[in-house]
Structure 1
Amino acid sequence: MSALAVRCRPTVIRGLCAQWPAVRAARASDAQAAAYVAQFDAGISTEALVGDAALGGRYYYDSDLTGVNFTRETAAVVDHLRHIVTAGTDTDAPTRYLGSLPIDQYLPGFAQDNGLAILPPSAAPRIWMGNASVIACHYDSYDNLACVVAGHRRFTLYPPEAIADLYVGPIDYTLAGQPVSLAAGSMDNDRYPRFANARDGAMIVDLSPGDALYLPKLWWHQVEAQSPFNILVNYWWDNFSHGPDAPYTSLLLAMIAIAERPEPERAAWRAFFDHYVFRPDGHPLAHLPAEKHGILGPLASGNYGRIRALVMRLLRGE
């Protein structure tokens, strides 16, 4: 997977998990797929999104972004599964979406039967189950491998540089953790005129049971579960992390330190960020011998900890 992460491009891997017992059960019937998952249930209650049938599984904000169009219901996984199977054959029943459950916690033993040796040990699996749904266009801060177990999934993908054309909603009042594109879920072209640029460059990926999609960090994706009963297993990990600090933390800090300064000063800081962080011209101290690079030497050689300690002292005002 490291080679895919270096390329930083979405990649479809057909049949990657086709031999999973869970996939074989899903190919037999929705009921068998639900029964297969239910046998691993640890009995821990969890929350599901529940929407009126008229919504068609489009879980989203309300019209003025002050609330949401769904409710939340807490129950055991097996009870949620029973409702999902029932709603799959009853078009008037409320739809249900059960997302991002850590498998080792809620379904112990499932991962041992349905695993991928190509992933690092840090990539713990999560499971997503529900009726037909449309999950708003969002991004992940981690590398993501999404494996379809039951039903069919359509991913509509936009590259990170499309962010300005996607009209992103609030970052501190979200549907499920990550900010979403307001334009990608709207038909109001007059309100979001720049979205045409993103739409023209979108990639559409259709996946069947057993197929997988590698999604690099920061790629925007709308996810449509197209069948009455759907299961997906995904894995998140950071292929290039040197420690606990995430790039998003740096982004938030830059918002308060730089974003509202005068434009000429922001331009000056942009030049410094390019030179020291994004490095379009190579290492900023390439003109010096490696032994003179100091804390700008390789992070893995102890400089990660040195820089982090310096940052923590500065944040404490020392």
Structure 2
Amino acid sequence: MDAVRFQQEVVARQQPAVLRGLVKDWAAVQASQQGPEALCGYLMQFDRGGACDAVMMPPEARGRLFYTPDMQGFNFVRSKRTVSQVVEQVARYSQFEIAPSVAMQSALLEECLPGFAAANPQPVLDAAVKPRLWLGNEVVTPAHFDESHNLACVVSGRRRFTLFPPDQAANLYIGPLDFAPTPTPISLVDFRTPDFERFPRFLEAMCRAIVVELEPGDALYLPSFWWHHVESIGVLNVMVNYWWNAPAAPGLDKASVLALAVLGNNK
């Protein structure tokens, strides 16, 4: 698929789309097929010591980025780490029966792995769109939305996305609008063990859900304002994503999506 087809056949529909094998020819994906050690060696050749934000969670969090029990803080800490340091932590934690979680999230590749993007070019977006790195062990990001369009490309491990149209905000039980562990508000529902007595309308949301699982080399296009819950599955999970600004579907903006969330919380 080239840039013209991507715009005409995928983006223009304003619907999520799985693009199997879009980046299967990336050198990084090829390295991942040889195993975690080969991929680590490949990544480290680009590491020049640039440190980016990483999150760390204790084992009891089960990898789920969330709030503390009193909802006054978050269940993770942030620290600056290089890619090599995060890879070392992932390797060490892989020996634990119940492991802590660590992940570098949304790190600009030009800062943490300069040269990686040139060696692994994406074929469908303008070169000015800056790629970001997501690297860690098994982490769960609660359902949230992005204000930009998103192309997520899996390099290693698997990524399970549970997607919801923007109008399902009222059924997802959204937490505080101005205090969240992600840039936008999150669903309070634990998708792995949902409490349907506390969150009964979540059943309605699941009737509209789209669940997709990406393998190395696969990509997902996600329009702006679609809710997405993301699970990384595997010993070493690596994903590269691209956000870019473009018109959303008619009638969609941040205010309207959050208004639906508020209405749902008041039911």
Distance 1:107 1:35 in 2: 13
Aligned residues: 249
The answer on 1:193 being equivalent to 2:206 is no
Could you tell me which amino acid in structure 1 is paired with residue 205 of structure 2? A
Q: Does the 8 Å contact 1:189/1:195 carry over to 2?
A: yes
**Deviation per CA, 1:156-203, whole angstroms, max 9, x where unpaired?**
111111011111111211102111011354622122221111011111
Q: Does the 8 Å contact 2:152/2:220 carry over to 1?
A: yes
Could you tell me which amino acid in structure 2 is paired with residue 228 of structure 1? V
**Deviation per CA, 1:109-131, whole angstroms, max 9, x where unpaired?**
00011111310233210010010
Distance 2:46 2:98 in 1: 30
**Aligned to 2:80, what secondary structure does the other structure show?**
strand
Could you tell me which amino acid in structure 2 is paired with residue 202 of structure 1? A
The answer on 1:133 being equivalent to 2:131 is no
Bigger Rg, which one? 1
Could you tell me which amino acid in structure 1 is paired with residue 141 of structure 2? I
1:239 aligns with 246
Relative to structure 1, the CA distance from residue 54 to residue 124 in structure 2 (aligned partners, 3 Å threshold; closer, same or farther) is: same
Q: Does the 8 Å contact 1:148/1:211 carry over to 2?
A: yes
Q: Does the 8 Å contact 2:50/2:113 carry over to 1?
A: no
Distance 2:195 2:207 in 1: 16
**Deviation per CA, 1:232-266, whole angstroms, max 9, x where unpaired?**
0000112339xxxx954xx39x98xxx9xxxxxxx
Identity %: 38
Could you tell me which amino acid in structure 2 is paired with residue 96 of structure 1? V
How does 1:9-88 map onto structure 2 within 5 Å? Answer: 9-88=15-94
Structure 2 counterpart of 1:105, from 80, 97, 111:
111
**Aligned to 1:226, what secondary structure does the other structure show?**
strand
**Aligned to 1:167, what secondary structure does the other structure show?**
coil
1:206 aligns with 213
The answer on 1:182 being equivalent to 2:227 is no
Relative to structure 1, the CA distance from residue 66 to residue 158 in structure 2 (aligned partners, 3 Å threshold; closer, same or farther) is: same
Distance 2:120 2:81 in 1: 25
Distance 2:128 2:147 in 1: 15
How does 1:115-194 map onto structure 2 within 5 Å? Answer: 115-183=121-189, 185=191, 187-194=194-201
Could you tell me which amino acid in structure 1 is paired with residue 74 of structure 2? V
More RCO (CA 8 Å, sep 6+): 2
Q: TM-score, normalised by structure 1?
A: 0.73
Distance 1:174 1:74 in 2: 20
Which structure dedicates a bigger proportion of its chain to strand? 2
Which structure dedicates a bigger proportion of its chain to helix? 1
Distance 2:202 2:65 in 1: 21
Q: TM-score, normalised by structure 2?
A: 0.87
Q: Does the 8 Å contact 2:90/2:102 carry over to 1?
A: yes
Specify every segment of 5 or more residues in structure 1 that has no aligned partner in the other structure, as ranges: 260-318
Q: Does the 8 Å contact 1:166/1:181 carry over to 2?
A: yes
